[in-house]
Structure formats: C-alpha cells, structure tokens
Amino acid sequence: MNFTKYQGTGNDFVIINGNKEDFDRSDYAAVRAICDRKFGIGADGFIVVSDSEEADFEMLYYNADGKPGSMCGNGGRCAVTFAYSNGFFTSGECRFMAYDGMHEARIMPETSVVELKMSNVETFELGNRMTIMDTGSPHYVTLVEDIDDIDIVEAGKVIRYSPRFTEEGINVNFVENKSDFLEVATYERGVEDETLSCGTGVTASALSFHVLQNGRSAASGELEVKVHTKGGDLKVKFEYDGSVFSNIWLVGKGEKVFDGCIDLEKIENNNPA
C-alpha cells in the first residue's frame, strides 16, 4: 500500500488515496498497526481520501487506536494538502465531506497554509473556568494559571476517564492566557496521550476562552485568536452573535513529510497488539 506521511503543527498522519489503494476500511487492526510508533509507521491518525459525489473529496479519519474517529482539524488541513497534490481539486478552494458534514477549505500551495472552515457551534456547556463543546469532536476546555505546572497526561486522564466521559471519551484541553496568544496543550482520546497539537482542540479552546472571558451572551462580531501549541502556531477566526459561533476558520500548515510503501500483511503480523 502506498501512503504519504503528513504533519500539521506536529500532529502526524498517514494518508492514502482511497481511489488507488485496495484498503479494507473495516480493518481496524491494520490501522492500529500502521499508527504504532514501534512496529509500524507511527502516526496520531490514519486518513483515507477518496472521491465524493457531493464534494471534491471525502475524508475518512481513524484514531491511532484503530477506531473510526470524529472530525480532526489538523488532519483535515493535511487531507486538503494531500487532495490538492493528488488532483482531487485544482483551484485554491475546495469542499470535502467529513464525519461532521461538509467543510470548505482554502489552500496556499506555495506555503502549505490551509484555511479550514469548521462546523458552527450552537450549544456548549459553560462552567467555572471550563467549557464542554463539540467542534467536530467533543472537547473539555479548562483555563489554568501555568500550563507548565500541569502533567497533561495524568490530568487529562482524570477527566477523560471520569464516570461521565469514560465510555465515549472526550479530548481535554488546558489553556493559559499569554495576553497576545493562548498556550494550549491537549490530551486526545483515541491516542490516549498528549499530542503536540489538536486542531479541533485549538478551535474549542479559542471559542471557549472568548465566552469564559466575556460571558455567554457577549456579542463580539468578527474575532481572531492566535494559539501556540508544542507543535507550532495556529489561528482561529470566528464570529459570535451572543449565542452561536459561526464562520469558524482554523488556519495553519499541512505539510508533507515523506512518501512510502508498506506490506500490510507483514506490518500486522509484526505488531504484537
């Protein structure tokens, strides 16, 4: 099977062309073996890009544990770059179908920067210095005073495996206000570890910070929030009308790392899991 490795602010993915590769989409063990960093290629997720009757392409996303995942913002930007490079669309704009519905995207090929339009957020739970919202994937966002004092994996596990979330899982984001930007660290379900970046988590963090700072009903118009993660910098542009977040764009690079070819049977047999 031919594949391409991509990364978006350190969130890495194995991507294949579903039109050309004969891959069993229900072979979750193969996905898990491919994403294994010791016995496989190694990745935070696996993506199949293929034709769509409704859009320029379809993005099918799997978590590193082999299970089909929800929307992945960093993976979406990488999928757009891959689709452009493989001729699924030829202009600077595209539409693609993902887990949470239709998305729009704009690509600047010379810089690998992709602007990815995320789904509107119409409902969210607001608590004391925390929110719960779905930005294509479910996220728990909490404000912290000093992110360097937090053990992201251990603190993330406490929330992710709490009675409320243990069955379906939830991504956990820790956010520190640095005045000019937000510092965000994320524990991701499916990966069950801290990742260098999470696109839907960065999006949820930017939106959550706005309502945590200004109140649920604060009208805002058009806003832009800069976010720094361990894997790099992203921007989130959005509108808020006092109730609904709309016109949400996640902006950052989706960069090719390398091409390769693997023997699926061999990689599965070598994986002790």
Domain ranges within the chain, ordered by starting residue: 2-112+255-270, 124-252
In the prediction, which pLDDT does 217 show?
84
Does position 218 have pLDDT exceeding 90, yes or no?
Answer: no
SS3 252: strand
CATH number belonging to the domain at 2-112+255-270, selected among 3.90.1170.50, 3.10.310.10, 3.30.200.20, 3.90.1150.10:
3.10.310.10
CATH number belonging to the domain at 124-252, selected among 1.10.30.50, 3.60.15.10, 3.10.310.10, 3.90.950.10:
3.10.310.10
Distance between start and end Cα atoms, the chain = 21
Residue 221: band (very low, low, confident or very high) from pLDDT cuts 50, 70, 90: confident
CB-CB contact of 208 with 141 (8 Å): yes
Question: Who's near 150: CB < 8 A, 6+ residues apart?
Answer: 144, 174, 185
Taking residues 223-240, what's their average pLDDT?
97
Burial tier of 271 (Cβ tally within 10 Å: 0-12, 13-18, 19+): middle
In the prediction, which pLDDT does 266 show?
87
Closest CA to 172 of 147, 138, 199: 138
Is there a common fold for 2-112+255-270 and 124-252?
yes
Residues taking part in catalysis: 72, 198
In the prediction, which pLDDT does 273 show?
64
Q: Which residue has the tokens 């294509």?
A: 136
CA 12 to chain centre: 10
- Whole-model pTM: value is 0.93
Taking residues 216-235, what's their average pLDDT?
92
Length of the chain: 273
Amino acid at 139: H
Percentage above 90 pLDDT, the chain: 92
Give the separation between CA 90 and CA 85, rounded to whole angstroms: 9
Does position 272 have pLDDT exceeding 80, yes or no?
Answer: no
Give the separation between CA 98 and CA 116, rounded to whole angstroms: 12
CB-CB contact of 257 with 8 (8 Å): no
